[in-house]
């Protein structure tokens, strides 16, 4: 599926009826396509080419690229800056905002600034504690949390005002998102937590890694029972595992990541564990696609970003659709620039 009015950089899309943003990502979701997103790890660099080089890895395979915001409480180029660079090239970024490092004044300013540069998608996160990262002596803020951040962004967008009550002359046009972890205990409360985020304004959700599809199905049944299936777009987190040892380390040291013993055993018994990890990811994507209420996958391949294209191609979930990327339609772009 190709939208006839896909933009080249500098050509904004109109907002369609029922949409809250002019972005391509929202169009894909509302058109009923199975969406694919991934994450760009911001560089430890001030060179914009480092961002572009990382983004090009995903060309033609993802509908939007998350720019992480101090993931793991580690310092990198800011999410806002990465998004500014990506929108300059025409990519569809998802700007992550963590509440750990900024108060409500700075956060509202970043939302407006991002929207002014063409950012159409916002992911609202509470954020990891500073003790988890490379600056444990930093002072945490947490003026807001993910739910109140969603409410703040929705207030800016829908009520055209700051939290102070002061009016905004031109509101940000955004698709609002949040994270959820269906696999963290107590699992029976996770759907209720999701409901709070949807009520606060979340329109799409990206989940933690899924390595247990039966547990995902149970979660989605709870989501359906709460009447949320038609109120939020669900993108399930997936990612390749390098080895059984790496999988064991992740489930031991990364909070909220559930990896069943059967997954560890499958990797341990493989002659090429990295290849088996990619096959496992493909198998999971294909199975996740059959779960009622799932609208896409969010591929997290930290330091394995080069595997995303292979995984998505072999999974077949795009069904021949080629997500827009700079240079996909050279003749159309040339004709539009000349008009």
pLDDT 10s digits, 199-240:
999 999 999 999 999 999 999 999 999 999 999 999 999 999
Q: Average pLDDT, stretch 325-335?
A: 70
Domains of the chain (ranges; CATH) run: 24-338 (3.20.20.220)
Q: How confident is the model at residue 334 (pLDDT cuts 50, 70, 90)?
A: low
Secondary-structure percent of the chain, ordered helix, strand, coil, rounded to 5: 40, 15, 45
pLDDT 10s digits, 72-91:
768 889 999 999 999 999 99
Q: Average pLDDT, stretch 121-130?
A: 89
| E-assigned strand segments in 104-229 | 121-125, 175-180, 204-209
Q: How confident is the model at residue 255 (pLDDT cuts 50, 70, 90)?
A: confident
pLDDT at 2: 45
pLDDT at 5: 54
Angle of helix 213-225 relative to helix 190-200, nearest 10 degrees, comes to 50
Judge whether residue 41 has pLDDT over 90: no
Q: Average pLDDT, stretch 141-157?
A: 97
Report percent pLDDT > 90 for the chain: 82
162 compared with 186, residue with greater pLDDT: 162
**Which residues does residue 298 pair with via DSSP β-bridges, in sequence order?**
37, 237
CA–CA distance, 71 with 177 (Å, rounded to integer): 17
Report percent pLDDT > 70 for the chain: 93
CA–CA distance, 51 with 328 (Å, rounded to integer): 19
Q: How confident is the model at residue 332 (pLDDT cuts 50, 70, 90)?
A: low
How much is the pTM?
A: 0.93
Judge whether residue 12 has pLDDT over 60: yes
155 compared with 127, residue with greater pLDDT: 155
CB 51 within 8 A of CB 43: yes
Judge whether residue 1 has pLDDT over 60: no
What is the average pLDDT score of the chain? 92
Judge whether residue 266 has pLDDT over 60: yes
pLDDT at 194: 98
């Amino acid at each position: 599926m190709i939208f006839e009015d896909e933009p080249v950089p500098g050509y904004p899309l109109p907002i369609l009826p029922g949409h809250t943003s002019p972005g391509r990502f929202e169009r894909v979701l509302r058109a009923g396509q199975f969406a694919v997103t991934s994450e760009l790890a911001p560089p430890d660099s001030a060179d914009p080419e480092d961002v572009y080089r990382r983004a090009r890895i995903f060309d033609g395979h993802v509908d939007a690229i998350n720019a992480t915001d101090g993931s793991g409480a580690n310092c990198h180029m800011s999410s806002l800056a990465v998004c500014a660079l990506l929108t300059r090239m025409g990519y569809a970024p998802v700007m992550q905002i963590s509440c750990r490092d900024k108060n409500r004044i700075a956060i509202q300013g970043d939302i407006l600034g991002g929207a002014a540069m063409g950012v159409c998608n916002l992911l609202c996160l509470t954020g990891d504690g500073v003790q988890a990262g490379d600056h444990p002596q930093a002072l945490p803020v947490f003026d807001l949390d993910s739910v109140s951040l969603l409410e703040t962004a929705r207030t800016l967008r829908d009520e055209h005002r700051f939290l102070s009550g002061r009016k905004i002359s031109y509101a940000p046009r955004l698709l609002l998102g949040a994270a959820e972890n269906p696999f963290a205990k107590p699992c029976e409360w996770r759907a209720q937590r999701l409901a709070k985020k949807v009520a606060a304004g979340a329109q799409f959700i990206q989940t933690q890694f899924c390595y247990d599809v039966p547990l995902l199905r149970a979660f989605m049944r709870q989501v359906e029972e709460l009447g949320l299936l038609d109120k939020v777009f669900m993108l399930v987190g997936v990612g390749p595992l390098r080895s059984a040892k790496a999988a064991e380390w992740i489930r031991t040291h990364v909070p909220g990541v559930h990896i069943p013993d059967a997954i560890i055993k499958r990797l341990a018994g493989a002659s090429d564990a990295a290849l088996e990890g990619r096959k496992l990811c493909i198998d999971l994507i294909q199975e996740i696609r059959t779960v009622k209420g799932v609208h896409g996958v969010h591929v997290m391949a930290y330091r394995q970003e080069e595997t995303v294209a292979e995984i998505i191609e072999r999974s077949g979930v795009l069904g021949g659709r080629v997500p827009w990327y700079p240079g996909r339609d050279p003749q159309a772009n040339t004709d539009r620039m000349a008009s």
